[in-house]
Structure 1
Amino acid sequence: MICLFVLCAYFIPLPYYVSKPGMAKELEPIIEVDNGTDARGSFMLTTVQMGKANIFTYALAKVVDYWSIYKDDEIRREDETDDEYEMRQLHMMEGSKEDAIISAFREAGKPYKTFYNGIYVYGLVNGMPAADVLKVGDRITKVNEKQLKSSHEFTDDIAKHKQGDFVKLEIIRDKEVLHKSVKLKKIPESGKLGIGIILIDDIEVKTTPHVSINSDQIGGPSAGLMFSLEIYNQLVKEDITKGYEIAGTGTINEKGEVGAIGGIDQKIVAASESGAEIFFAPNENGSKDSNYVIAKKTAEDIKTKMKIVPVDTMEDALNYLKKLKEK
């Protein structure tokens, strides 16, 4: 009977997720710029471990510092499957990598070209027409036989129609080109016409020199800033690490602007335990409850010697590193 209880407690998931500090992972083995320069120090991304809660992990999260509990709907969209959630996370990582490359090459004054591949569907709205026709992971390349050059063209075309009209879509699914017709319907929350997809632009970047990033199964966009710094460091002659172990977190867009992420306290713990000496944290333009503020408090709580540095842009991080004394 006791064994049965233990098995049930371990294998039966609860309607919660538990997250805890992950690791800090060196980026130089992950990112390769053709003919890139080496560094004496290193840039590191930081991660959070997250999984479905069972009775044991839920109980631990109640008592262990820097373990957190989240309800299902705080992590996944309503009726989103495990595969859809994973695909959404991985595609956000892909978008993060492209933006990081653009930011790094722009800061380094190196050439790059961008190519628009269409609209990537990474979410479907229940009760809307697209849920019966499209799948998460579809890439929309044409609407009403017109090649798309941005997601704005897609929404502009839909705005020209009325409820009940159909739009013809060309999509790519698992490398196969398909043609689908989807009915337009008013979105309950906004009253605007739509088909019921959550989308992002799918942009590909071509560079000289070539950049490859092997992020394996790391998902989400939070490594963007650190990707951009590692790429930049391999592009330029000087070593901007100056011999330090540098961790950090934050999304990045193609303009080099750094955005907030979740689990900043857990990432501070992970970076400190991995021996990081400097940590870049999103400043959120000085917000009183910014990632930086939380990171600073966590660093004080765990009594780490790691320096917490606020950044709003990639340029902020570069300026800090340029002023840093060689180790």
Structure 2
Amino acid sequence: MEKRIKILNVLLVLGIVMILLVFIPLPYYVTKPGLAEPLGPYVNVAGAKKDDGDFMLTTVSMSKANIYSYIGTYTNSVHHLYKEKEILSEGESNDDYQFRQLRYMEESKQAAIVNAYKEAGKSYSINKTGVVIISLLKDMPASKVLKLGDIVTKVGEKEIHSVNDFTNTISSSPTGTNFQFSIIRNGKNKKVSITSKQFKDEPKRSGIGVSIVENIKLSTNPKVEIDSEEIGGPSAGLMFALEIYDQLSEENLAKGHEIAGTGTLDTEGVVGPIGGISQKIIAASKAGAEIFFAPNENGKRNSNYKEAVKTAKEHNVKMKIVPVNTYADAIEYLKNLKSSS
């Protein structure tokens, strides 16, 4: 009886230890295949029809590592391990990171709308009103004055409409320049003063220590709404643009196929590389995608496209991987695609 109690006590302690290991975070992040789902429910163009087939959003799942997920990255080739500093900027919290990713998604959606409406010959207008602060570098002057989400509309008397307006103004001034910023914070106008200093890791360069994106407001006809919920990052730009164009156009662009893909997109239609392409290939394949658009990076040696092809072969994925450098490449491929029926 006494021996049995001892065994039970040991098992109980082991059980408690194993449970605790789940909740002890490590200084790493683990990524793995996320979701691949139709974009139709996320995008609503006024008066749009419903066509056969789908354009699919693909995601990567990322979480703080515990001992089990850490070990899992050594036994599963599509589970990847990253150090905290590879994910977070210096001094950035998890909440700060999420804010930055959501702002990247906003930029991605705006670029998608511009490309789709341009391709469809529909009316749109762009109004640029300043730049949004999306990251603050610890130990640099801006971190003591500005907050995430602040919109900078002026530096001194110079109106700011673009990222270049802002960066050129700051970088062209000597170290120790005192800048007067006009900002909008929580809907209220405010003026703040910040003095530039040298960057610790780049002593020949000075600044105030911020990352920014343009504050763009779009007006479209017909109206379009994109509900991306809490999905962050810039990698859905290409696929959002295809879904929007499909809803704007009279033709059925998907032609009954299940089409996934990934890639950043700028307002000029250039498709850029993303992280986690291998994991997105697995997610799309599991969701039943037949075709996958992958950034070709103009044939770069280690392009997303080449990594996608390699992953597809290693995991016996039957999807057709299609390389694209631009939004126009994807549109041309789809216009020549035969119907699934």
Rounded Cα–Cα distance in structure 2 between residues aligned with 1:157 and 1:55:
47
**Structure 1 contact 247–271 (Cα < 8 Å) conserved:** yes
Between Structure 1 and Structure 2, whose CA radius of gyration is higher? 2
| Alignment match of 2:129 (pick from 98, 107, 117) | 117
Q: Which whole-Å deviations, capped at 9, do the CAs of 1:108-153 have from their partners, x for residues lacking one? A: 1112110112111111122221111112221111221443222333
Output the aligned Cα RMSD. 1.4
Q: Which residue of 2 aligns with 1:92?
A: 104
Q: Secondary structure at the match of 1:29?
A: helix
Q: Which whole-Å deviations, capped at 9, do the CAs of 1:195-217 have from their partners, x for residues lacking one? A: 11111212121111111000000
| 1:317 matches 2:330 | yes
Q: Which residue of 2 aligns with 1:37?
A: 49
| 1:157 matches 2:169 | yes
Q: Which residue of 2 aligns with 1:235?
A: 248
Matched ranges for 1:1-327 at <5 A? 1-159=13-171, 161-188=173-200, 189=202, 191-327=204-340
* 5+ residue gaps, structure 1: none
**Structure 1 contact 37–233 (Cα < 8 Å) conserved:** no
**Structure 2 contact 36–283 (Cα < 8 Å) conserved:** yes
Q: Secondary structure at the match of 1:237?
A: coil
Letter paired with 1:120: V
CA 1:184–1:238: 2 relative to 1, 3 Å: same
Rounded Cα–Cα distance in structure 1 between residues aligned with 2:188 and 2:20:
43
Rounded Cα–Cα distance in structure 1 between residues aligned with 2:275 and 2:203:
27
Q: Secondary structure at the match of 1:254?
A: coil
Q: Deviation of residue 83 (structure 1)?
A: 1.2
Q: Deviation of residue 242 (structure 1)?
A: 0.5
Q: Which whole-Å deviations, capped at 9, do the CAs of 1:252-303 have from their partners, x for residues lacking one? A: 0001110000110000000000000000000010112111111111111221
Identity rate, percent: 49
Rounded Cα–Cα distance in structure 2 between residues aligned with 1:161 and 1:66:
46
Q: Secondary structure at the match of 1:121?
A: strand
Q: Deviation of residue 178 (structure 1)?
A: 2.2
CA 1:242–1:177: 2 relative to 1, 3 Å: same
Q: Deviation of residue 161 (structure 1)?
A: 4.1
Q: Deviation of residue 307 (structure 1)?
A: 0.7
Rounded Cα–Cα distance in structure 2 between residues aligned with 1:158 and 1:18:
37
Q: Which whole-Å deviations, capped at 9, do the CAs of 1:49-107 have from their partners, x for residues lacking one? A: 00000001111221123111111111111220111100000000000000010011111
Rounded Cα–Cα distance in structure 2 between residues aligned with 1:161 and 1:319:
46
Rounded Cα–Cα distance in structure 1 between residues aligned with 2:310 and 2:199:
42
Moved more, 83-92 or 129-138: 129-138
Q: Secondary structure at the match of 1:65?
A: coil
Question: How many residues matched?
Answer: 327
Letter paired with 1:231: I
TM-score (norm 1): 0.96
Moved more, 196-205 or 35-44: 196-205
